[in-house]
Structures are given as C-alpha cells and as structure tokens.
Amino acid sequence: MARYTLVQGTPQARTYHWVAWTLFIGLLVLVAFAYADTGQLNILENSYSVSLTRLNKAIAYVIAVLGLQVVVGYTGQLALGQSFFFGTGAYLSAWLVEDQHWPWLATLAVVIPACFLLGVLVGIPALRIKGLYLALVTLGLAAIFPSIVQLDSLDEYTAGAAGKKVNSDIVAPGWLPLDGIASVLQNIPFFGQYFGDGDLSSNDADRIWKFFVFTVVGAICFWMVANLIKSRPGRAIRAIRDNETSAAVSGVHLSRYKTMSFGVASALGGVGGIVYVAELGIASPGDFSQLLAIFFIVGLVVGGVGTLTGAVVGGIVIAFVPEWSSATTDVPGVPARWLQGPTGTLVLGILLILLTFVLPGGIVAGVRKMRAKVVRVTPSPPSSPAGADSAPPRESGDTPHPVDELSEPPTQHEDVPATSAPPG
Amino acid sequence: MELFLARIFDGFSNGATYGLIALALVIIYKATTLINFAQGEMAMFGAFVVLVLATERGLPMWLAVVVGMLISAAAGALIERVLIRPFDPSDHLPLVIITLGLFLVFGALAGIIWRFDPRGFPHLFPAGNAITVGVATLTWYTVCVTITMLAVVGGLTLLLKKTKIGLAFRAVSSNLESAELSGIRVGPTLQFGWALAAAVGTLGASIYVANPIFQLEPSVMARVLIFSAAAAALGGLDSLGGAIIGGLIIGMVQSIMVQYVGFIPNELGLAAAVFVLMVVLLFKPSGLFGTKSVERV
Amino acid sequence: MTDATVTPASDAPRGTPLLDVKALRGGYGPIQVLHGLDFHVHEGEVVVILGANGAGKTTTLRAVSGMIETTGSVELRGEQLVGKGPADIVRRGLKHVPQGRGTFPELTVEDNLRVGAFVRKDKEVEADMAKWFEIYPVLHERRNQRAGSLSGGEQQMLAVSRALMSRPEMVLLDEPSLGLAPIIVKDLFDRFRQINRETGTTMLIVEQNAQLALGIANRGYVLETGEISVEGPADALIHDDAIRKAYLGV
C-alpha cells in the first residue's frame, strides 16, 4: 500500500519527524524574509500578494479556528459564536495597549482568563440547549457583538463605530541579527534575489520579528491544544462528543468538561483577537460580525473537523481566499463584475457546500489519503519488535469514516502522537 | 395613551414581517426539524428579484411579488432536491453547514449582482394614514400588512388542512416513518415545504422593505432573521400560528421598549432578541404554542 | 387450551404464494441482522413469525416493506420488491403496521385514517372510514381528537383501521400486542381473524405472544438470530414441546 511504512518510535520514524520539522521551520524562516516586503504572485493579469500582514492575519484566524476545533470538533458542541470572543480579545487588548500602555504580551494575562470566563458563562446555558438550538443561540451571540461594542456607554473604551486604533507596535529587538540573516540569504546563488536587496529597513525588520512572535504564539497554542486532546480532559471531551450518555455513565462529569471546553475555545478565540489587532492596528466593530463567525466555521469545515492540522489549513484558507478573490480581476471569459467585491464570500460558501458533499473530512482528510500512499507511520506493535508484518488496528493517514466526522474520533495517531508531524 | 397606541401600530408592522419570516422558518422546521439559517438571505434575494421584475420588467407591483414568490418557490424546491435530500435528516451537522454555505452564497450573490447601495422599494400598499387617533396614526401600510399576514396564515391553514399535499406535509411532520409506510413520498413533500417557506420568506422581505422607512440592500435581512428566530422560538418552533403571534409580540415589545425604556438604545434590541431566544430555548423549548416534540430534538 | 380450531380464510397451501421471500439478507449498515431467510405467505393466509427479542423479527418486516436495504428476493405476486422504496411497495398493496402503532399523534383520528388511505384514488374513502367507525365506535367518538391522546388499545385499533384504509392485499403487523392489556389483546386478535375471514386480507404477524398469534394462524415460522429455525402449521407448532417451552412459557 504505502511505499514506506514506518513504525512509531523507531529511529527511522524519528528521523522522518525531525527532517519534516526542520524543513518546516526552515520554510518559515525563508517565507519571513522573502515576504518581508510584499511578495507577489502573478497569474494572468492578476497579482496576488503574499505579505506578512496577510500571514499574520492567517495566524490569528488559525488560533481562533483551533479554539473552534476544541469545542466543535472535539467536544461535539455546535458553538458557532467564536467571533464574539475573537472580538473581545481584540478590543480588550487594544484598550490595554493603547489606553493603559501595556506591552502586548502582557495583555495575554488578562485576555485569556477573561475570555475563558466568558466562555464558561456561555457554556452554562449550553448545558441545556443542544445541537441546532445551540448553533442558533451562539450565532445570535456573534451577531450582536458589533452592537455591544458600539454602545454609547462603552464609547470611551471602544471608540464606537470608528474603531479603536492602536499605535503601539512590536519592535524587533536589537540583539537579533536579522540583518545578518538577510544578507546570508541574499547571497544564495540563484534564489538570493527573492530575499530583497541590501540591508533590511527597520520596518521590514519589525515585520519579520512580529511574524516570528506570532508564529511562536500560534505554535504554543497548537502545542497546548494538542496536549489537551491527548490528556485525560481531552479524552473526556471526546467521549462526550462521541456519545454523551455513555460518557456520563462512564463517570465523565458532563457539565465540568463541557464548560471547560467552552472556556478553552473562547480563550483561544481571544488570543487570536490579540494577534489580529496587533497586526492590523485597529479594531472595528464590522470586523467581528456574524459573518466572521461563519467564516470561522468555513475554516473549520474546509480544513477538517476534528483534526488540529485542519484548523491550521482552514485558518489560512479563510485569510487568503477572500482577499485573493478580490484580487482576481482578470479571468478570461468571466465579466469583471463577477470578480470583485463579495466574490471571496461566494467562493467560500460554494466551497463549504461542495466539501460537505465531496470531502466531508475537509482538505486534511483528502491530503492524508494521498499521503498514505507514500508514507505511513504506524504505531509500534505491543510486544514484538518493529516488524512489517504487524497490522495496527487503526492506520494513521486514513480518512475518517464516511459517517459524520463528529461521531468518529480523529485519526488520533496523526494528531496526537508522541512526536507530532508538522502540518501537511 | 395615544403614544402607546402609536407604539402598538408601529410594532405591528414590523411584527408582521418578523412573523412571516418566522413562519418560513417554522414551515421548514416542522417538516425537517432543521433550522434554515439561510432563510433571511434567501428572502432578501427574493425581494431583489421582485424589485427587478417591477422596475426593469415593468410588472405591476403585486404581480411582481407573486412572480417573485413563484421563482423563490422553485428555488426552494431545487435546493431541497439537490442539497438537502442527499443527507440523513437526523444528522444535523452537514445540514447546518449547508444552510450556512447558502447564507454566504445568497448574500454574496446579491452583493455581486446588485451591489450594496440601498434602494427604495416601490410601494406595495397605498400610502398615507387610515386612522388617526391624536398622535397615533395607523397607516394604510400597517393595515394592509396585517391583512396580508392574516391572508397568508389563512391560506396556509386551508392548504394544510384541506389538501392532499397538506395532509402529507402534516403527516411527515408528525411521524416520518409512519408517513413513509402510508405511501407518502417524503422527498417531494419536503420539497413542497421548502418551496412554500421560500415563497413566504420572499413575501415577508418584500413587505418589510416596502415600508417607506426601510430600504433594500443585501444586508437588510440579517437583523430581521434574528428577530424572526426569536419569534419562532417564542411561538413554538413547530407552531405556525405561534410564529405569527411570536412575531407580533417581538415587534410590539421592540417598539414599546424604544419608546418607554429610553435608555436602552436601538442596538440592544437585537441583543434583547437573542436573550429572548436563549431564555425560551433554555426554559421552555416548545415556546408558547409548540408541542413537546420540539424538546425531544 | 383454545377450543376453536381456527379456520382462517384459506387452508391448504396452493399455487404461487402471494409473498415469496428467498435468501433475504439485511441489516443496519455494518450490522447484518438477517442471514438468508426463506419464507412465503399464500393469499388469504395468516402466518406468524415468532422469535425472541433481537431475533430479527422487526427487521424482517422492515426488509419486506422496503425500509432498509436488503439483498435477496422478495416477490409480491411475482413482482420483485427488493430495491423499491416503501412508497412504491405500499402502492403495490402491502401495508406495514410498525411496532408502537405508528400513530400520527398531532393529527386527528380522522386525519390519521385519511393518511391511511393516501394511496387511494377512488371516491369510497369516506365510506370506508364510516365502516371503521362502525367497527370501532370509540374511534368515531374521538374522531376529532388528537390521536396522541388515545390510549394504547385505541391507538392499536386506529393503527389497524388506518392500515386497512388503503384496502391492501397484505398486511404486516409488528408485535401488535406490545404494551396492551390482555383483554384488549384478545379482542385485537379476534378482530384480526374476523378481518382475514371477511375480507380475505393476507396477514403476516410478528409476535412474541405466541399463544394468541398461533391461535389465529395457518402457519408459523420461528426466527432465531436472523435465521428461520422452525416452520410448520400453526397447530403443530402450538403442540410442539420445544416451542411450548421457549415461547409459550409451558
């Protein structure tokens, strides 16, 4: 079946993982330096920019979708109001940094507990409201966020409809040899031209540094969620997702774990909001409407419900697809009118519907199917040494059952192995 | 006293729209226990179609509305056949996602085709006041809207109680398996439900924007949907009459709140609706007139 | 035991059966319940399928009426039913009364009966309804009441009437005695026998209450974990020791 079959824990499997991780980190560094200015992809007459701004926005979205994954993908609750917490995190940190002059990273200490608590509060009624009704109520919650933020009484904190501007920025520390790295990259034969010319401007250096900081924040979130899923609470919430009654009967304290799951998801949403506003420099009410909530769900589904990698893919998709759709101004045969404005939303909507039919497990499921044909990492057999003749009960790289993903545990060996593979 | 009357009149006209959209939600819910999150956007799209028929094709307004409703019905039937029927009706997640996708698609399509500048909607009803009681004016608009709403409920009730397809619809809502075993073709019956809901939705949106104080643009129904959802829940998600009554209640409460509870800004009306929604679903999911089966889901 | 040796509408088997089932397999997704059933029912017969809980009795009926996916052959008057949906099968004259009666609780008694006649296109529906109101006066009393408010026994009467409103050739009854008081059940089965005799409606009854069911039947089958283990004339089954021990509590 697969061209290479590796058994988990063996030197070969470890090497595979190390190589994959190194490649990935290397890629990140290259991307940062290549796109410090704005990179452009030109297809036909359209230019698609890949900038660190967009990438940072994607990171913010990824973190939010990770949160959504926890509550929807792993606990099975249709809590669709993630934009509410995203917005809360954004506004809260904007106020702290702008008005109270806090450093950005310090806002984490406030936003995380605040959003966690808010999430738990929302989770309490969610104990009684189930399924479709919960979806309805949480979407309603998402819909009223712009109204709340534009209340006159909150005006001094939120600056109302104009949006709250934040002027503080993240500055690259002096001790980091960004210049040095830049010149090394520029001197690479043949590829050096992609890394710009001459010294890094301070703007570029700041941008690169911001990107690294955000990537690290994102990576920490990813790592924490991955550990959560593996742990005892993680098993509890997955049990709840698969069959609440059985879970309860097996001793899982439903209300405790459900509200915890809501709290974690909302906290992640808040963190995403911080990254978002730190990058954009402004928090406007219209950015955090129910449309964003639905976009987050699109990200969740397109990436793949119930897989962490899916959250990453999904976040990137919703950050880039709408922008790139508006940038597509010239497709032969299609009248210009159809290529601007809300086309991105249209594409996302169609994608959502198509994927439900064709690839219910999301993009990640599709990619795993393909990758399984090349490399397969199997868990080590219980007693015998690594041998090709041991058949594990569940193979990593399999797509979820053609049943509703929520009733199927994630391909746990991929998402939650001892050494996790990088996305892809 | 007159001021109160004025509030009631005001609340009635909005309430009728909320009631009609709630009716559309309830029709689909009754048949499939599904909440069509795209109902508002579909209704908005239908209203645009009506506008196009009236202004670009020169149809008289009422004909435009009727034709618009027929077109919407066809679209609703198509959506059920292609997007909804392939899925197991008891598996809610894919269906929720499909309706969310439709939400995005209809909203975006309307924006692409008709842009975002608000447009005035031609008058559906005669302008001016029917009755004036001091400061309280009952406009012809409100009177006609009320009559329309009653006509819709009446027509729907007749349809459901006296026709064969209506019987099939009620049977499917009541006991799907038994309906199948009685020889009822469930698919086409659900299609009928979706078509009906789409038509009622378009009517509701058209009436809403025909109100001189509102204008038609792609985001107009997003707020209405929330009020209508609260109305549907309040009335009881599987009660048609409840939907209308819920709509009227929400409309009137909203109107009264604006006047008498002055410190609550308009914006919070939306939050209040969500609050009502949550409270109903939390404590009495079957609402005022719904049946116990709502809670079982 | 019962005195009256039952004389159902048809006695000796002859010719092609009305319902002929061969190698029937079916189940729910990955769980296969039926492992190749062979049975048949002649026109006018009353046939009983006995079995313990979980043997697959309900699944058998659902397989015949098209509710689940099956392989094998199910022929009604020679016409293959496998692959057809319930709506088509009802139109061919086969009615399935599910376990729990299948009442439409929100509909009135009258509307329930009308739904029963759904596939009919003739004008005698109202007349038939009147006939059932005569047979079951209680239904006539409650005709405008929500059917959900009827008692278990009344709902069973409603279920039988509703099934027969479409004048089917054959009726499948899934555990009609379930949850009903003994007196009511006795009445019920008497009524079944009467209907069979007077209208010639063929019946396939799935039951745990073997005594009463065999009492009105021509023949019976015993189902065990998805396979037919015993078959024979009702008389023989009633007097069979193994059957008596297992299903008659003797």
Task: Please name the residue that has the structure tokens 């009928």.
Answer: B192
CB < 8 Å to B86, chain A: 357
The parent domain of residue B50 ranges over 2-296
Contact: A128, B103; criterion CB under 8 Å: no
- Quickly list H helices, A231-281: 232-242, 244-249, 254-280
Mean pLDDT of B269-284: 86
Of B167, B185, B186, the CB nearest to C115: B167
Does B182 touch chain C if contact means CB atoms closer than 8 Å? yes
The yes-or-no verdict on residue B21 having pLDDT over 70 is: yes
Mean pLDDT of B29-42: 91
Contacting partners of chain A (3+ CB pairs under 8 A): B
Q: Rounded to the nearest 10 degrees, what angle do helices A202-230 and A308-327 cross at?
A: 140
Overall number of domains in chain C: 1
Which tokens is A399 given? 């797509």
Instruction: List pLDDT tens digits, range A233-277.
Output: 888 888 888 888 888 888 878 888 899 999 999 999 999 999 999
Residue of B nearest to C171 (CA): B181
Which tokens is B118 given? 């608000």
pLDDT value, residue A3: 62
Residue of B nearest to A128 (CA): B282
Query: Which residues have a Cβ under 8 Å from the Cβ of C196 and sit 6 or more positions away?
Result: C8, C9, C44, C46, C202, C203, C216
Contact: C118, B181; criterion CB under 8 Å: no
Q: How far is CA C225 from CA C34, C50, C61, C205, C209, in A?
A: 8, 12, 15, 18, 18
Residue of C nearest to B170 (CA): C107
CB < 8 Å to B285, chain A: 129, 133
Of B182, B186, B291, the CB nearest to C115: B182
CB < 8 Å to B178, chain C: 98, 102-104, 115
Helix or strand holding residue A39 (H, E): strand A39-43
Contact: B175, C103; criterion CB under 8 Å: yes
Which residues sit opposite C49 in a β-bridge?
Answer: C206, C221
Contact: B273, A140; criterion CB under 8 Å: yes
Helix or strand holding residue B100 (H, E): helix B92-114
Integer Cα distance of A302 and A319 in angstroms: 13
CATH number of the domain within which C204 lies = 3.40.50.300
Name the residue with higher pLDDT: A366 or B175: B175
- Considering only A57-61, B130-134, C35-39, which range has the smallest mean pLDDT? B130-134
Integer Cα distance of B48 and B56 in angstroms: 11
Task: Please name the residue that has the structure tokens 């029927």.
Answer: B85
Contact: B268, A342; criterion CB under 8 Å: no
Report whether A293 contacts A266 (CB < 8 A): no
Does B222 touch chain A if contact means CB atoms closer than 8 Å? yes
Q: Is C239 a member of any domain?
A: yes
Q: Which of A27-31, B49-53, C1-5, C182-186 has the highest mean pLDDT?
A: B49-53
Length of chain B: 297
Q: Is C161 a member of any domain?
A: no
Residue C72: left if φ>0, alpha if ψ -120 to 50, beta else—which one? Answer: left
Integer Cα distance of A275 and A281 in angstroms: 10
- Residue A94 identity (one-letter amino acid): A
Integer Cα distance of B297 and A211 in angstroms: 46
Nearest residue to C85 (alpha-carbon basis) of A420, B179, B4: B179
Q: What rounded mean pLDDT belongs to chain C?
A: 87
Does B165 touch chain C if contact means CB atoms closer than 8 Å? no
Q: How confident is the model at residue A380 (pLDDT cuts 50, 70, 90)?
A: low
Integer Cα distance of A398 and A274 in angstroms: 35
CB < 8 Å to B92, chain A: 78, 131-132
DSSP letters, B273-288, are HHHHHHHHHHH-TTTT
User: Any idea what DSSP says for residue B123?
Assistant: P
Q: How far is CA A43 from CA A40, A48, A346, B135, in A?
A: 10, 8, 21, 64
The yes-or-no verdict on residue A72 having pLDDT over 70 is: yes
Q: Going by DSSP bridges, is the β-strand pair B129-133/B136-139 parallel, antiparallel, or unpaired?
A: antiparallel
Report whether A213 contacts A170 (CB < 8 A): yes
Integer Cα distance of B57 and A160 in angstroms: 42
Query: Which residues have a Cβ under 8 Å from the Cβ of B86 and sit 6 or more positions away?
Result: A357
Q: Is C6 a member of any domain?
A: no
Q: Which of B6-20, B187-201, C15-29 has the highest mean pLDDT?
A: B187-201
The yes-or-no verdict on residue C167 having pLDDT over 70 is: yes
CB atoms under 10 Å from CB of C241, counted, come to 9
Instruction: List pLDDT tens digits, range B153-173.
Output: 999 999 999 999 999 999 999
Integer Cα distance of B287 and B235 in angstroms: 5
Contact: A350, B92; criterion CB under 8 Å: no
Q: How confident is the model at residue A190 (pLDDT cuts 50, 70, 90)?
A: low
Integer Cα distance of A323 and A47 in angstroms: 11
Integer Cα distance of A286 and B136 in angstroms: 36
pLDDT value, residue C1: 39
Dihedrals phi, psi of B270, to nearest 5 degrees? -65, -45
Q: Is C109 a member of any domain?
A: no
Which residues sit opposite C34 in a β-bridge?
Answer: C26
Contact: C87, B185; criterion CB under 8 Å: yes
CB < 8 Å to A297, chain B: 97, 100
Q: b or e along A24-45 (b: 16 or more beta carbons within 10 Å of the residue's beta carbon)?
A: eeeeeeebbbbbbbeeeeeeee
Contact: B112, A338; criterion CB under 8 Å: yes
pLDDT value, residue B160: 93
CB < 8 Å to B34, chain A: 132
Minimal C-alpha gap between B92 and chain A (Å): 7
Report whether B217 contacts B118 (CB < 8 A): yes
User: Any idea what DSSP says for residue C228?
Assistant: E
Integer Cα distance of A191 and A142 in angstroms: 46
Query: Which residues have a Cβ under 8 Å from the Cβ of A194 and sit 6 or more positions away?
Result: A34, A39
Integer Cα distance of C109 and C160 in angstroms: 12
CB atoms under 10 Å from CB of B159, counted, come to 14
Q: How confident is the model at residue A404 (pLDDT cuts 50, 70, 90)?
A: very low
Instruction: List pLDDT tens digits, range B72-130.
Output: 999 999 999 999 988 887 778 888 899 999 999 999 999 888 888 888 888 888 777 77
Q: How confident is the model at residue A197 (pLDDT cuts 50, 70, 90)?
A: low
Residue of C nearest to B182 (CA): C116
Residue of B nearest to C89 (CA): B183
CB atoms under 10 Å from CB of A182, counted, come to 21
Minimal C-alpha gap between B33 and chain A (Å): 9
Q: How far is CA A246 from CA A8, A249, A407, B172, in A?
A: 31, 5, 13, 31
Q: Taking the C-alpha atoms of C192, C193, C198 and C204 in order, what is their torsion angle to the nearest 10 degrees?
A: 60
Contact: B281, A346; criterion CB under 8 Å: no
Report whether C243 contacts C210 (CB < 8 A): yes
**Percent of chain A clearing pLDDT 90 (strictly above):** 23
Which residues sit opposite A47 in a β-bridge?
Answer: A42
Contact: C104, B168; criterion CB under 8 Å: no
Report whether A277 contacts A93 (CB < 8 A): yes
Integer Cα distance of A150 and A158 in angstroms: 7
Instruction: List pLDDT tens digits, range B203-218.
Output: 999 999 988 888 888 8
Contacting partners of chain C (3+ CB pairs under 8 A): B
CB atoms under 10 Å from CB of A215, counted, come to 19
CA angle C208, C212, C213 (to 5 degrees): 60
Minimal C-alpha gap between B162 and chain A (Å): 32
pLDDT value, residue A421: 37
Instruction: List pLDDT tens digits, range C81-114.
Output: 998 989 999 999 999 999 888 999 999 999 999 9
CB atoms under 10 Å from CB of B55, counted, come to 15
Of B97, B100, B268, the CB nearest to A147: B268
Does B172 touch chain C if contact means CB atoms closer than 8 Å? no
Instruction: List pLDDT tens digits, range C120-150.
Output: 988 889 999 999 999 899 999 999 999 999 9
Nearest residue to A411 (alpha-carbon basis) of A358, A367, A351: A367
Query: Which residues have a Cβ under 8 Å from the Cβ of B217 and sit 6 or more positions away?
Result: B116, B117, B118, B119
User: Any idea what DSSP says for residue B262?
Assistant: T
Contact: B171, C104; criterion CB under 8 Å: yes
pLDDT value, residue B271: 84
Residue A5: left if φ>0, alpha if ψ -120 to 50, beta else—which one? Answer: beta
DSSP letters, A171-220, are ---TTS-HHHHHHHHHTSTTTGGGG-SSSPPHHHHHHHHHHHHHHHHHHH
Q: Going by DSSP bridges, is the β-strand pair C79-80/C70-76 parallel, antiparallel, or unpaired?
A: antiparallel
pLDDT value, residue A1: 52
Mean pLDDT of B228-241: 91
Which tokens is C92 given? 């061919």
Half-sphere exposure of A79 (CA within 13 A, CB side): 37
Overall number of domains in chain B: 1
pLDDT value, residue A408: 33
pLDDT value, residue C211: 83
Q: How confident is the model at residue B198 (pLDDT cuts 50, 70, 90)?
A: very high
Q: What rounded mean pLDDT belongs to chain B?
A: 87
Q: How far is CA B214 from CA B44, B65, B122, B234, in A?
A: 13, 17, 11, 25
User: Any idea what DSSP says for residue C230?
Assistant: E
Q: Which of A50-54, A276-280, A365-369 has the highest mean pLDDT?
A: A276-280
pTM beyond cutoff 0.95: no
CB < 8 Å to B180, chain C: 67, 85-87
SS3 A398: coil
Instruction: List pLDDT tens digits, range A291-309.
Output: 999 999 999 999 888 888 8
Does B226 touch chain A if contact means CB atoms closer than 8 Å? yes
CATH number of the domain within which B271 lies = 1.10.3470
Integer Cα distance of B49 and B64 in angstroms: 8
Contact: B267, A301; criterion CB under 8 Å: no
Q: Is C157 a member of any domain?
A: no
| ipTM exceeds 0.90, yes or no | no
